[in-house]
A = this chain, B = another copy of it.
Amino acid sequence: MANKKIGIVIGSDSDLITMKEAVQILREFEVDCDVHVISAHRSPEIVHTFAVEAEKKYEVVIAAAGGAAHLAGVIASLTPIPVIGVPIQTSGLGGLDSLLSTVQMPAGIPVATLGIGKSGAVNAALLAVQIISTSEPKLRQKFVQYKKKLADEVVKKDKAVQAELGSL
């Protein structure tokens, strides 16, 4: 998958804490990725260039932003490749603002939106993996393994809970 790359962009460097979760997942799947801080509002020309050139470099773009979170939508307007949005949790409204700004796109320009915060970041990476997997059977297989591992972990946690409750 060396030539299939994911472009991750964050609207602020403070969003990196959340999006490291996505980077880690992609590394786990050995899917290459770039992470860039670009702001739809503070560095619009850089975002414009990024978006227009995204198709040449990336299979999928993941964009994370908070508040009036326009980053994913702006990129989606300028590229034909799939754009995934991660709404960052905010202190005032808990991320409801980020979520609605990301997901409520007008007909014509989809942003594939995941949940608020770290769960959303993990899932953005997994969705990118799923998308690439539609034409990469080996990656699909890895993803199937990943799902099995998730189920196994639940079983392990169940055993730990039995132990904990038994000893109460």
- Contact indicator A93/B91 (Cβ below 8 Å): no
- Contact indicator A43/B154 (Cβ below 8 Å): yes
Inside 8 A of A155's CB, which chain B residues have their CB?
43, 46
Task: Name the interface residues of A111-165: CB closer than 8 Å to any CB of B.
Answer: 111-119, 122-124, 126-127, 130-135, 140, 143-144, 147, 150-151, 153-155, 157-158, 160-162, 164-165
- Contact indicator A105/B68 (Cβ below 8 Å): yes
Task: Name the interface residues of A34-60: CB closer than 8 Å to any CB of B.
Answer: 35-46, 48, 59-60
The answer to whether A30 has its CB under 8 Å from any CB of chain B is: no
A119 to chain B, nearest CB (A): 4
Inside 8 A of A36's CB, which chain B residues have their CB?
158, 161
Task: Name the interface residues of A58-117: CB closer than 8 Å to any CB of B.
Answer: 59-60, 66-68, 70, 73-74, 76-78, 80-82, 84, 89-97, 99-117
How many residues of A are counted as interface, with CB atoms below 8 angstroms from the partner's CB atoms? 93
Inside 8 A of A105's CB, which chain B residues have their CB?
41, 67-68, 114-115, 119, 123
Closest to A146 in B: B108
| Distance of A36 Cα from B60 Cα, bound (Å) | 29
Contact of A116 among B95, B104, B133 (CB under 8 A): B104
Inside 8 A of A111's CB, which chain B residues have their CB?
68, 114, 123
- Contact indicator A112/B115 (Cβ below 8 Å): no
A-B contact pairs, 16 of them (CB 8 A): A21-B107, A37-B154, A39-B106, A39-B150, A39-B154, A42-B150, A67-B104, A68-B70, A80-B147, A92-B95, A93-B94, A93-B96, A96-B100, A97-B104, A106-B119, A112-B112
